Amino acid sequence: MLLSFTFHFDAGKTIAAGFKDSLIEMITFIPALFIIVGLFDVWVSKEKIQQHIGQGSGIKGIAIVILLAMLQAGPLYGAFPVAYILWKKGASIKNIFIYLGAFTSFKIPMLGIEIAYLGIQFTLVRTLVSLPFFIGIGYFMEWYLKDKDFKVNTIG
Amino acid sequence: MGLKRGWFMFRNILVPFLNILILVSIALFLIPPSIISRYLGPESGALGLLIAAVVGSITLIPGFISYPIAKGLITQGASYAVVATFMTTLMMVGVVTLPLEIKYFGKRVAITRNLLNFAAAVIIGLVVGMVL
């Protein structure tokens, strides 16, 4: 980036501006996500997770992961560590992927911005249309990975 | 204790995350919002839908930038289907972040998830376009 500043000033400047925007997004949201992950790890017991969003948790489990995702904020890659902790604590495959889906589209802070820019009608239709797809993907992944020794890794 | 654990995880992941940010910025430079607007405009049709899906998948624009872009597209006369597809792939499919996702979920799961979400995003876009 420094090199491009010297040789190709415009490119470097644009990339730097994009970097700054993404950095702001990361700095505002990601640390909060990790605080959640850390507290989650310590406070919520494995039994509780297994009972509420583990195998055979049904509709209530789906509702819980969607609600959990809605209360968060930040880019999708910030949700991967949360997915790791959910998996580690025994959440079902289905619920992990429903969580990821809901995280992409139903975060309340983002919905607020979406309503402000695109209107309540667009936002409502988009979320309602998306919801069954996320749940469907969750079920599909569970079926697809049933006998495949699915695991989530942590980094570092 | 919990805070400490969160901090350690955060510290471990800081470098891969910063790398992603650099890639994201470069992608944003190569495909700037002005070009996106031009190709997703009113007369883009089915091709526009495809372009929206592909561009949305590759780039990873922070939410507070992508919504103004979407608003701009609609004001310019782009269809709701195109905008919904673009927004959905932006959020759900991440080619740039795929290496990171593979580290977490493994190659097969990460690629399957992205392919599924890509298909879902196009259908979501079409349905939204039909409803609105």
Question: How buried is A139 (Cβ within 10 angstroms: 0-12 exposed, 13-18 middle, 19+ buried)?
Answer: middle
Contacts of A81 in chain B (CB under 8 A): 9, 13, 104
User: Would you state the pLDDT for residue A62?
Assistant: 92
- As a whole number, mean pLDDT of residues A112-136 equals 92
On whether ipTM exceeds 0.85, the answer is no
**pLDDT, tens only, A19-51:** 777 777 767 766 777 777 777 777 777 777 777
Q: Beta strands of chain A (E only): which ranges? A: none
Contacts of A80 in chain B (CB under 8 A): 100-101, 104-105
> 0.90 cut: is pTM over it?
no
Between chains, do B116 and A34 touch, taking CB under 8 Å as contact? no
Q: Which of A9-13, A17-21, A26-30, B88-92 has the highest mean pLDDT?
A: B88-92
Q: Which of A19, A84, A104 sits opposite B104 (nearest CB)?
A: A84
Instruction: Count the Cβ atoms, other than its own, within 10 Å of residue B60.
Output: 26
Q: Which residue has the tokens 């695109």?
A: A118
Q: Residues 85-104, chain A: which have Cβ within 8 Å of B?
A: 97, 100-101, 104
Question: How buried is A32 (Cβ within 10 angstroms: 0-12 exposed, 13-18 middle, 19+ buried)?
Answer: middle
String of DSSP letters for B30-96: HS-HHHHHHHTSGGGHHHHHHHHHHHHHH----HHHHHHHHHHHHHTT--HHHHHHHHHHHHH--ST
- As a whole number, mean pLDDT of residues A136-143 equals 94
Domain spans in chain B, listed from the N-terminal domain onward? 2-131
